[in-house]
């Protein structure tokens, strides 16, 4: 899971990107009831469990705001909103919420469809876990893993989301403004700008510069950032999506021509739209017009329909189709011509319509639950069939491990349209942030390909990196706050030009601070003495505003001052130098004048007349304004 949190003025803004998923698959029993072995690998036989977002560092109940980047990274939301004491607000775009709901609904449906009574917990005992083979022994925080949430929890979590549109400015407690921008990766996917009047932080996560179905990435608005937090880059930087789509199509065609079936484990939204569009253009050229395409998911229908109604969130080409009017995605035509059929599950209509050879898109891409499990078992034994992995989130070898030995062909065509390092370098050249902050692994080549210097972020100044659970001080200081002046107060100002182009004016006002907004208001008028009423009421207890005294500036030249004193009849004057200035001693009058850089004190014994005389003499040497 990738997550960053930014603290601004004591408010926490969590930027969530996803959850890790650990699940197990039932298989043969060997050492205990919980553990099963299959082709040399040990698996835990349990209801699937999920690894939750990091909570050690952050007390989620203190988080004020969560900004969601895209629908793939909100899958852990119910765990946060429902079980942590979280009381803040969640912001996301409408397609993110709607498609996120579909993904969660599919997940809940898949899990609930095959209820399993027991949850394995014995193996989580640390003494047992460390004896288990990899990857079980390397699993972290196993004690915090939880079972899947329910649909009620999903609904409750989603009800806490406030919908936002691209470029909409949202005030957070007056301290900062946050703005979602199109990130070009998925329908409604966003990058976030978090800015105050003088600072700007951009959070770029899960962005794409490729031309696919969503609205293109808004790069221009990211300019002038003090800090750009960069995460959610492609997981497979060496796989070019275009090449992978080509591989996908070729392998699909070869399999079907030979009479085999193709299984595509996938999410019900996202890349599947692009794949269907590619196939729409390809099937005729490859002579596959008669091959049925099946899309099986509890949310298949909603997903295909939703994609067609979010016109404003689509790329320009697709938007213009809406005005023709035509459906923006060609899968509408595939459905109309019966080339693409969709079903909520493989029971019911599908079983009667099913015709082979065919191509099936279904979930879950982890191969641990969902209808895909049935197809793996149905087609796994024939070498004519092919399973093509397109989702980059899961290791296909791990996904396939419990199904071994397997006769069907396996093709790995991960299609990850998120930024690769070349695109990042172009983006940073374009946007030119003062500082880049990114996870540590982006600042060095992948361990397995240490010579690939091209597979890392290369920018000037070098990116600041962070590790898991590291707290980073962002490289800027808040120096200024903006204060507004009320118009009537501004009217009353009398600026004096002290240098050409620079004017000063004294302001006397009341600084009103509320919700991190600072406003200078005119001071209240001096209260008129209220005749007979002597008793002060509580509401009158505001600071008394006396007649304004002029401000003084300048320094007092001691020698001239002494001369002036002598002129005015003072004699027996002594001057002593002190560390901060001078003391003028009027011995005869038993009076002391202390002159320092920023203050002058006249100390005399209850002789107000004398004090005033002396004060006026001092003031003559100072400028007033």
Partner 1 sequence: MTSGLPVPSQVGHAGISSLIMDPECSQLLPALCSVLADPRQPVADDTCLEKLLDWFKTITEAGSSLLLLQENPCLLGLLCHVLKPQDLSPRVLSFSLRLAGMLAAQEDCFQYLQQGELLPRLFGEAGPLGGAAWTAPSVRSGWIQGLRSLARHPSALCFLADCGAVDTIFSLQGDSSLFVASAAGQLLVHILGLSLQGPAEGHPGLQTGDWPVCAQKIVSHIEESLRSAATPQITQALNVLTTTFGHCHDPWTQVLWGRLSPLVACLLEKDPVPAAHSLVDLLLSVARSPVLSSSSSGLWETLAQTLSHLSPTQAGPLALGILKLQECPQVLRAQAFAVLLQPLTCVLEATAQAPGLLDSLDGTGGASVTVDTLLPSKAACVGLLCRTLAHLELLQPLPQRPSPWPQAPLLGATVTILRLCSGSATPTSDAGGHLCAFLVGCVRVQRAALDFLGTLSQGTGPRELVTQVFAVLLEYLTSPDSSPTVLKKAFQATFRWLQSSPETPGCSDLDPHAHLFLRELLPVLPKRLCSPCWEVRDSGLEFLTQMIGRWGGQAGFRRALLASEVPELTEQLLRDPESYVRASAVAAMGQLSSQGLRVTPASPEHPGGQQKSLLAELLHILSTDSEGFPRRAVMHVFTQWLRDGHADVAGDTERFVARVLQVASQDLDWEVRAQGLELALVFLEQTLGRPSSHCPYAVTPPVAAPPSSLAQALRPLCRVQLFEFAFRALFDCDRPVAQKSCDLLLFLRAQTASYGGPQGSGSVPEVASVEAALQRWQAGDQGQPLGYLEPEVVVAVLRSMDLEGLRGALAESSDRVEKSPQSLLQDVLATVGALGEDEADCY
Among residues 344, 339, 373, 377, the alpha carbon closest in space to that of 359 is found at 339
Instruction: Provide the Cα torsion 302, 306, 308, 313; round to 10°.
Output: -160
Asked if residue 341 lies in contact with residue 358, where contact means CB atoms within 8 angstroms, the answer is no
Question: Is the alpha carbon torsion for 558, 560, 566, 568 positive or negative?
Answer: negative
Cis (ω within 30 of 0) for the bond into 461? yes
Asked if residue 96 lies in contact with residue 71, where contact means CB atoms within 8 angstroms, the answer is yes
Residue 132 CB burial class (10 angstroms; 0-12, 13-18, ≥19)? middle
- Member of 114, 122, 434, 453 binding partner 1 (CB under 8 A): 453
CB of 252 vs partner 1, minimal distance in Å: 8
Q: Please tell me whether residue 210 binds partner 1 under the rule CB under 8 A.
A: no
Q: Which is nearer to partner 1, 284 or 544 (CB)?
A: 284
Q: Please tell me whether residue 257 binds partner 1 under the rule CB under 8 A.
A: yes
Give me the 389-418 binding string for partner 1, x by CB under 8 A, dash otherwise.
------------------------x-----
CB of 360 vs partner 1, minimal distance in Å: 18
Q: Please tell me whether residue 246 binds partner 1 under the rule CB under 8 A.
A: yes
Question: Is the alpha carbon torsion for 467, 399, 116, 342 positive or negative?
Answer: positive
Asked if residue 244 lies in contact with residue 415, where contact means CB atoms within 8 angstroms, the answer is yes
Contacts of 229 (CB under 8 A, 6+ apart): 4, 6, 15, 201, 202, 203, 204, 205, 437, 438
- Member of 162, 285, 508, 563 binding partner 1 (CB under 8 A): 285
- Member of 170, 254, 573, 592 binding partner 1 (CB under 8 A): 254
Q: Please tell me whether residue 89 binds partner 1 under the rule CB under 8 A.
A: no
Asked if residue 69 lies in contact with residue 183, where contact means CB atoms within 8 angstroms, the answer is yes
Q: Tell me the three state secondary structure of residue 306.
A: helix
The window from 91-99, 251-259, 363-371, 483-491 that contacts partner 1 (CB under 8 A) reads 251-259
Q: Please tell me whether residue 444 binds partner 1 under the rule CB under 8 A.
A: no
Q: Which is nearer to partner 1, 77 or 256 (CB)?
A: 256
Q: Which is nearer to partner 1, 59 or 242 (CB)?
A: 242
Q: Please tell me whether residue 305 binds partner 1 under the rule CB under 8 A.
A: no
The window from 219-227, 249-257, 460-468, 578-586 that contacts partner 1 (CB under 8 A) reads 249-257
CB of 460 vs partner 1, minimal distance in Å: 14
Q: Please tell me whether residue 454 binds partner 1 under the rule CB under 8 A.
A: yes
Q: Which residue has the tokens 């009017």?
A: 325
Question: Is the alpha carbon torsion for 95, 100, 103, 109 positive or negative?
Answer: negative
CB of 234 vs partner 1, minimal distance in Å: 14
CB of 206 vs partner 1, minimal distance in Å: 23
The DSSP 8-state label assigned to residue 138 in this structure reads: G
The DSSP 8-state label assigned to residue 314 in this structure reads: B
Total site size for partner 1, rule CB under 8 A: 33
Supply 575's token pair.
């001057």
The DSSP 8-state label assigned to residue 61 in this structure reads: G
Asked if residue 4 lies in contact with residue 15, where contact means CB atoms within 8 angstroms, the answer is yes
Q: Which residue has the tokens 């990116």?
A: 463
Q: Please tell me whether residue 259 binds partner 1 under the rule CB under 8 A.
A: yes
Q: Please tell me whether residue 85 binds partner 1 under the rule CB under 8 A.
A: no
Asked if residue 295 lies in contact with residue 302, where contact means CB atoms within 8 angstroms, the answer is no
- Member of 37, 247, 305, 326 binding partner 1 (CB under 8 A): 247
Q: Which residues of 273-288 are buried (b: 16+ CB within 10 A; e: fewer)?
A: bbbbbbbbebbeebeb
| Sites for partner 1 among residues 357-376 (CB under 8 A) | 357
Q: Which is nearer to partner 1, 3 or 283 (CB)?
A: 283
Q: Please tell me whether residue 278 binds partner 1 under the rule CB under 8 A.
A: yes
The window from 19-27, 242-250, 313-321, 584-592 that contacts partner 1 (CB under 8 A) reads 242-250
Instruction: State the Cα–Cα distance between residues 294 and 372, nearest whole angstrom.
Output: 12
Instruction: State the Cα–Cα distance between residues 246 and 243, nearest whole angstrom.
Output: 5
Q: Please tell me whether residue 449 binds partner 1 under the rule CB under 8 A.
A: yes
The window from 33-41, 87-95, 241-249, 366-374 that contacts partner 1 (CB under 8 A) reads 241-249
CB of 253 vs partner 1, minimal distance in Å: 4
CB atoms within 10 A of CB 87: 12
Q: Please tell me whether residue 446 binds partner 1 under the rule CB under 8 A.
A: no
Asked if residue 208 lies in contact with residue 216, where contact means CB atoms within 8 angstroms, the answer is no
Within its chain, how far is the Cα of 547 from the centroid?
52
CB of 257 vs partner 1, minimal distance in Å: 7
Q: Please tell me whether residue 119 binds partner 1 under the rule CB under 8 A.
A: no
CB of 241 vs partner 1, minimal distance in Å: 10
Q: Which is nearer to partner 1, 174 or 246 (CB)?
A: 246
Instruction: State the Cα–Cα distance between residues 298 and 342, nearest whole angstrom.
Output: 10
Question: Is the alpha carbon torsion for 229, 235, 240, 242 positive or negative?
Answer: negative
- Member of 56, 127, 284, 515 binding partner 1 (CB under 8 A): 284
Instruction: State the Cα–Cα distance between residues 18 and 310, nearest whole angstrom.
Output: 23
The window from 247-255, 310-318, 429-437, 473-481 that contacts partner 1 (CB under 8 A) reads 247-255
CB of 122 vs partner 1, minimal distance in Å: 44
Q: Which is nearer to partner 1, 140 or 422 (CB)?
A: 422
The window from 171-179, 239-247, 365-373, 466-474 that contacts partner 1 (CB under 8 A) reads 239-247
The window from 137-145, 285-293, 375-383, 507-515 that contacts partner 1 (CB under 8 A) reads 285-293
Binding site for partner 1 (CB under 8 A): 238-240, 243-247, 249-251, 253-254, 257-259, 278, 281-282, 284-287, 290, 357, 413, 422, 449, 451-454, 458
């Amino acid at each position: 899971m990738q997550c960053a949190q930014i603290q601004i003025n004591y408010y926490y803004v969590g930027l969530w990107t996803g959850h890790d998923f650990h699940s197990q698959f039932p298989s043969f029993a060997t050492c205990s009831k919980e553990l099963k072995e299959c082709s040399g690998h040990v698996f835990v036989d349990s209801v699937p469990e999920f690894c939750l977002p990091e909570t050690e560092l952050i007390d989620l109940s203190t988080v004020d705001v969560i900004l969601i980047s895209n629908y793939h990274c909100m899958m852990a939301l119910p765990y946060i909103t429902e079980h942590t004491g979280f009381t803040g607000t969640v912001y996301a775009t409408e397609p993110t919420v709607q498609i996120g709901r579909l993904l969660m609904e599919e997940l809940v449906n898949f899990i609930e469809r095959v209820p399993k009574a027991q949850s394995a917990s014995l193996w989580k005992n640390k003494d047992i876990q460390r004896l288990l083979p990899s990857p079980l022994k390397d699993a972290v925080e196993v004690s915090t893993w939880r079972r899947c949430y329910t649909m009620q929890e999903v609904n409750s979590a989603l009800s806490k989301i406030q919908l936002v549109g691209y470029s909409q400015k949202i005030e957070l407690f007056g301290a900062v403004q946050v703005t979602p921008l199109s990130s070009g990766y998925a329908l409604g996917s966003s990058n976030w700008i978090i800015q105050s009047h003088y600072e700007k932080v951009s959070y770029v996560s899960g962005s794409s510069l490729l031309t696919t179905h969503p609205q293109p990435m808004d790069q221009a608005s990211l300019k002038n950032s003090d800090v750009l937090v960069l995460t959610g880059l492609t997981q497979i930087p060496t796989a070019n999506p275009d090449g992978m789509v080509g591989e996908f199509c070729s392998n699909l065609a070869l399999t079907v021509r030979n009479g085999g079936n193709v299984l595509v484990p996938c999410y019900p939204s996202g890349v599947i739209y692009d794949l269907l569009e590619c196939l729409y253009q390809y099937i005729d050229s490859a002579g596959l017009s008669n091959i049925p395409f099946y899309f099986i998911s509890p949310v298949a229908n909603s997903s295909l329909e939703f994609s067609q109604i979010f016109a404003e969130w689509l790329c320009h080409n697709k938007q213009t189709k809406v005005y023709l009017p035509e459906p923006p995605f060609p899968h509408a035509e595939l459905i109309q011509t019966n080339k693409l059929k969709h079903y909520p599950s493989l029971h019911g209509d599908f079983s009667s319509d099913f015709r082979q050879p065919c191509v099936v898109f279904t979930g879950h891409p982890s191969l641990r639950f969902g209808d895909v499990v049935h197809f793996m078992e149905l087609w796994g034994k024939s070498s004519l069939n092919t399973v093509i992995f397109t989702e980059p989130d899961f290791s296909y070898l791990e996904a396939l491990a419990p199904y071994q030995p397997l006769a069907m062909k396996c093709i790995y065509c991960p299609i990850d349209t998120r930024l690769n390092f070349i695109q990042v370098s172009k983006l940073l050249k374009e946007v030119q942030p003062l500082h880049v902050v990114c996870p540590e692994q982006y600042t060095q080549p992948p361990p397995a390909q240490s010579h690939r210097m091209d597979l890392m972020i290369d920018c000037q100044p070098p990116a600041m990196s962070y590790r898991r659970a590291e707290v980073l001080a962002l490289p800027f200081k808040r120096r200024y706050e903006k204060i507004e002046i009320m118009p009537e107060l501004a009217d009353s100002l009398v600026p004096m030009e002290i240098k050409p182009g620079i004017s000063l004016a004294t302001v006397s006002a009341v600084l009103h601070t509320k919700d991190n907004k600072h406003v200078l208001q005119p001071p209240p008028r001096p209260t008129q003495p209220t005749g007979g009423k002597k008793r002060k009421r509580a509401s009158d207890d505001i600071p008394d505003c006396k007649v304004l005294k002029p401000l003084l500036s300048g320094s007092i030249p001691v020698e001239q001052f002494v001369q002036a004193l002598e002129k005015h009849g003072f004699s027996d004057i002594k001057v002593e130098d002190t560390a901060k200035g001078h003391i003028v001693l009027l011995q005869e009058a038993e009076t002391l004048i202390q002159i320092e850089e920023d203050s002058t004190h006249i100390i005399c014994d209850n002789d107000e007349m004398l004090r005033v005389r002396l004060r006026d003499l001092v003031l003559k040497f100072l400028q007033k304004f």
